[in-house]
Amino acid sequence: MKQAVKAALLSGLVFPGLGQLALKRYRRGLAFMAVALASTIHIVKTAVDAVLNSLPGLDPAAVAALPAPSGGHAGPAIWVLSLCWVWGVLDALLIGGKLDRQKS
C-alpha cells in the first residue's frame, strides 16, 4: 500500500494527525491532534453540561445552583473538528504522494 493512502486512511478513519505521524511529520501531526482533541473535549463538555442542566431534580434550589454550560454552543467546535479532519486527510495525501513520487 502506498504511503499516501495509508496516511490518509489513518488520518481519516482513526484520528486527525495520525497520518502525518506515520509520515514522520511529527510537529504537523501533533498540531492536528491537539486541535482535534481540544475540539472534541469542548464538544463533550458542552454536551455533558447540557444534560446535567436538563435533569429534573428533587430540590429546585440544587438544580438552580448547577453551573451554566460554559462555552455556549458546540457548533463552532464541531466545525473546527470537521475542518481539521478533512484537512488532515488531504494533507496526508499530499505529503504521502510527494514521498511516493520521490521513491519512484
57-74: average pLDDT: 60
Query: How many angstroms separate the CA atoms of 101 and 25, rounded?
Result: 17
Burial class (CB in 10 A: 0-12, 13-18, 19+), 104: exposed
pLDDT tens digits for range 21-46: 999 999 999 999 999 999 999 999 88
Q: How many domains does the chain have?
A: 1
Looking at residue 47, its pLDDT comes to 83
Which residue from 93, 102, 100, 91 is spatially nearest to 31, judged by alpha carbons?
Answer: 91
Domain that holds residue 85: 3-103
pTM: 0.77
80 CB-side CA count, 13 A:
17
Residue 57 above 80 pLDDT? no
